[in-house]
Amino acid sequence: MAVNLLTGLSGICWSLVYIMMIYIGFKHKTYCMPLWAAGLNIAWELLYSISNINTLGFALPTVIHVFWFLLDIGVIACYFIYGKKYQIKDLQPYYILQGITVILASFIIEYAFYDALGATNGSNYSAFSQNLLMSVLFIVMFFKRPNLEGQSLTIAIAKFIGTLAPTILDGFILSYRFVTWIGLLCAVCDIAYIILVALAKIDLHHAKTAQ
């Protein structure tokens, strides 16, 4: 019961994150997930979608991963459409090459985890490692972009819950100690990001009402 509940909660929250990223990305003409996080994400989803189909068939985790992979295509498309303006001038002609290189490198990294640790351990170790990287990169993005461009409180909160659910499941219920510690670090970073976004939204609201 707890397994399906926490798996489903994570699936719903991360699906909301991706959907909001696609919506905000096209609305604001930006991309909402840092490139390395997006590259590792789409590589992880494809690799473990294939792995789950081979081992579990189309069980709930497989359906979730396949759905996430399809949404990740939209998330990363925003980088290729709108990413040029975020590059320094000398590198702008190469931003597509940069994106392709990061994605290819991400597939190699994800397969290295899978090849060295197997499907179960590889998915857990790689997922939480890249989630910690993502949590840090979102904080970096917050300070680099003006006026919360490509960011929202909905994304911040859903991302936090979406990672917290498997942290509880894999780290505390199934006792993967690596997941416990890295998941807690993710939670700290995600809470910090939520606070930053919330305070920035308050500041923006005050600035608008003062005009």
Average pLDDT over residues 82-88: 91
Q: Residue 147 — very low, low, confident or very high, per pLDDT cuts 50/70/90?
A: confident
* Top-confidence residue, 210 or 202: 202
Distance between alpha carbon 30 and the CA centroid of its chain, in Å?
Answer: 16
Average pLDDT over residues 40-48: 95
Contact 25, 75 (CB under 8 A): yes
pLDDT at 155: 97
Contact 45, 126 (CB under 8 A): no
Contact 178, 124 (CB under 8 A): yes
Contact 149, 28 (CB under 8 A): yes
Q: Which residues contact 133 (CB under 8 A, 6 or more apart)?
A: 36, 37, 40
Q: What is the DSSP letter of 172?
A: I
Q: What's the angle, vertex CA 5, arms to CA 181 and CA 152, rounded to 5? A: 70
The mean pLDDT of the chain is 92
Contact 97, 43 (CB under 8 A): no
What letters, b where the CB count within 10 A reaches 16 and e where it falls short, cover 80-92?
Answer: eebbeebeeeeee
